[in-house]
Amino acid sequence: MYKFKEEAMIQHNRVRNEIAQSVKRGNSFFVQAGAGAGKTKSLVETLEDMKKVYGYDFKKDGRKIAVITFTDAATLEIKNRLMDDSIFQISTIHSFAWENLKHLQFDLIESLDEESIEKVTYSVLNDLADEYNLHHHEVVEKFIRMLNSKEKFCQIISNQYPFILIDECQDTQTKIIDAFFDLYKEHNIILGLFGDMMQRIYLHSHQNLNELVEEHNFDIITKEWNWRSSPEIVKFINRVRALDIDLSKENRSFSDSAFSQLAVKEETKKNVEIHVLTLDEEKHESDIVHGSHVLVLEHKMAAKREGFQDLHNYVSSFSKKKNSFLDGDLGELKEIEGILVPLYQDIIEDRSPIDLMFYLREYNIAFQTGDNVDLKVLQKDFILLCQTLKDTQSTLGNILDNIGTTFDFRYLRDSTDEFVEGLKSIKWVEFIKYFEYVNSLGIGTQHSSKGLEYPRVSVILSDNEQKWNLYNFSRLLGIQQPTENDLKKYKEGKDTTLTRTQNIFYVACSRAMEELKIIYYVPKGGKEKVKERFEFLFEDVCEIV
């Protein structure tokens, strides 16, 4: 199965040694690892090597090596791979921020400018009466503000964490990257970045990270071997990566100088397939995608297919909420995602009453504060809530009205905010479908599929459903001309529609291990032109159907 395992392991061990040498010299570093290159393995081995060198002293001094992950799942994966994590602080940026803020109550209360506050807490789930509860996004905002304004706080962080490693650095928020770079410059910490700018898909992330690490003389360490995908798929994603998005050129194709990967696996004799269909040929889709994991690369299309179109359309009408919604990180929905969605899933799986009581023990405010609990009232309210959650005709407002004494959702229930009021009128089932979408429980999404892999993948593309031009495959392929806004942003060195589209296409296609099929929907009459362009760009690395 692994044809070039020996050569790939030689490079893997070289990368491990280069990282160790960077740390030994006191240099910050950036490990650039393409899809399937074993980035997490290199990160874990780096931690193991650092523990051998610094473990004894750090345990004695109470210092730690910080690892900032992008998701809770990544945190758990890294912890599970380590035999001992006692000298590591492995967490998402939100957890890391709160871990270092919670002891600074005076500064937090002062920053909130609220005289009546006695204590500041952070919980996505509860909002306690005599305390100010920092919401999801506020924790990071306060942390960054403290780093930017409190020298003493910077000294505490740099002394406590001489090494800060950032996983999926390409998708980490710009303001977080900038804050850690300022800490690096002023307080001599070592930064270790792990990621791949071609896999950058979040709008809030740092678009000039490559320039930033070069400017500060980071050691650049690359991993080219791909352990995940077949050679046929690797050739295809290399071509996607090499698509020319230089808008100063009149005729664009692809560049031979782009970073490319090598496949560790043997050939499968299964060509990558591109199917160009018109919308009236949609009936053929099920035969093409049969048995594969489907990735839909357009949110509006996915919303229509997966059953959360009203929710999508409503949130999208608020420009300031749109990007967080697309990223699966909308603060107003965190309480729903944290409690109600898993409770609903346990209800429909017919979990026992004892299992369901976990939610009351874990999240009911009276249980947490030690107040007297009227168990009869609580039981009645909990049964009513469960019945409402099971009712597919319930709106979010119905659920909040029937939540009773079970959970403290006052922020959502009592809010008069226009945006929250509108959410209450949307059917509860649409929220379920939305969270299945962002968590890749049903048909996956490009955002939730980061780091995942599947034997067979079908990627569905379309420009027909697009509204805000976040992505445009016709422009990427050179079928349509770039807009004036694209040209302006390109000249300014900013992201363009082409950049975002290329990245999202690469991430989706690189999830495939053995078989990759792409379906591109085009307007009626546009089929031949699109097929000609695909043949020009990809004919030698795939089959155009």
Pairing outcome for strands 273-278 and 543-544: parallel
**pLDDT tens string 356-411:** 777 776 676 555 555 666 778 878 888 888 889 989 899 999 988 888 777 777 66
Whether residues 149 and 61 fall in one domain:
yes
Distances (CA, A) of 25 to 20, 21, 130: 9, 6, 50
User: Contact 507/450 with Cβ under 8 angstroms?
Assistant: yes
- Tokens 């209450």 label which residue? 424
Provide the H-helix boundaries in 102-253: 105-112, 136-149, 151-160, 174-187, 209-215, 231-242
- Residue 120 within a domain: no
Distances (CA, A) of 312 to 91, 299, 433: 30, 8, 11
86's tokens = 């006692």
- Residue 480 within a domain: yes
Residue 156 belongs to domain with CATH number? 3.40.50.300
Give me the pLDDT at residue 439, please: 66
Give me the pLDDT at residue 131, please: 43
Number of domains forming the structure of the chain? 3
Whether residues 172 and 256 fall in one domain:
no
- Residue 123 within a domain: no
Give me the pLDDT at residue 454, please: 92
Q: Write down which residue in 166, 198, 226 finishes a domain.
A: 226
- Residue 540 within a domain: yes
Whether residues 316 and 414 fall in one domain:
yes
Q: What is the DSSP letter of 130?
A: T
Ranges of residues in the chain with a pLDDT under 70 are 105-137, 250, 256-258, 326-328, 361-362, 364-373, 410-411, 439-451, 464-469
The SS3 call for residue 512 is strand
Give me the pLDDT at residue 469, please: 63
Residue 245 belongs to domain with CATH number? 3.40.50
Beta bridge partners, 512, equal 454
- Residue 125 within a domain: no
- Residue 304 within a domain: no
Number of helical H runs and strand E runs in the chain: 27, 16
- Residue 136 within a domain: no
Prediction pTM value: 0.83
Whether residues 392 and 512 fall in one domain:
no
Q: Write down which residue in 416, 438, 460 finishes a domain.
A: 438
Pairing outcome for strands 293-296 and 273-278: unpaired
CA distance 53 to 70: 26
Whether residues 330 and 348 fall in one domain:
yes
Q: Write down which residue in 226, 249, 278 finishes a domain.
A: 226
**Exposure class string for 185-196: b at 16+ Cβ within 10 A, else e:** eeeebbbbbbbb
* Neighbouring residues of 283: CB distance < 8 A, sequence distance ≥ 6: none
Whether residues 386 and 346 fall in one domain:
yes
Give me the pLDDT at residue 122, please: 46
User: Contact 463/474 with Cβ under 8 angstroms?
Assistant: yes
The SS3 call for residue 285 is helix
Whether residues 219 and 251 fall in one domain:
no
Q: Radius of gyration over alpha carbons of the chain, in Å?
A: 25
Provide DSSP, 312-373.
Answer: HHHHHTSHHHHHHHHTT--GGGHHIIIIIHHHHHHHHTT--HHHHHHHHHHH-HHHHHT---
Task: Write out the E strands in 45-127.
Answer: 65-69, 88-92, 119-122
Whether residues 424 and 351 fall in one domain:
yes
**Total residues belonging to the chain:** 545
CA distance 259 to 286: 35
**Exposure class string for 368-403: b at 16+ Cβ within 10 A, else e:** eeeeeeeeeebeebbeebbebbeeeebbbbbbbebb
Beta bridge partners, 483, equal none
Give me the pLDDT at residue 308, please: 92
Whether residues 194 and 252 fall in one domain:
no
On the CB side of 186, CA atoms within 13 Å amount to 18
H or E element in which residue 385 lies? helix 375-390
Whether residues 334 and 290 fall in one domain:
no
129's tokens = 């009466």
User: Contact 506/446 with Cβ under 8 angstroms?
Assistant: no
* Neighbouring residues of 135: CB distance < 8 A, sequence distance ≥ 6: 124, 331, 334, 411
493's tokens = 């060195």
Whether residues 325 and 469 fall in one domain:
no
Whether residues 147 and 30 fall in one domain:
yes
**pLDDT tens string 199-209:** 998 878 999 99
Give me the pLDDT at residue 393, please: 92
Range of 494's domain? Answer: 231-297+446-544
Least Cα distance to 190 among 18, 24, 17, 15 occurs for: 24
- Residue 130 within a domain: no
Give me the pLDDT at residue 108, please: 46
The SS3 call for residue 28 is coil
Give me the pLDDT at residue 413, please: 74
342: amino acid identity, one letter = P
CA distance 425 to 184: 47
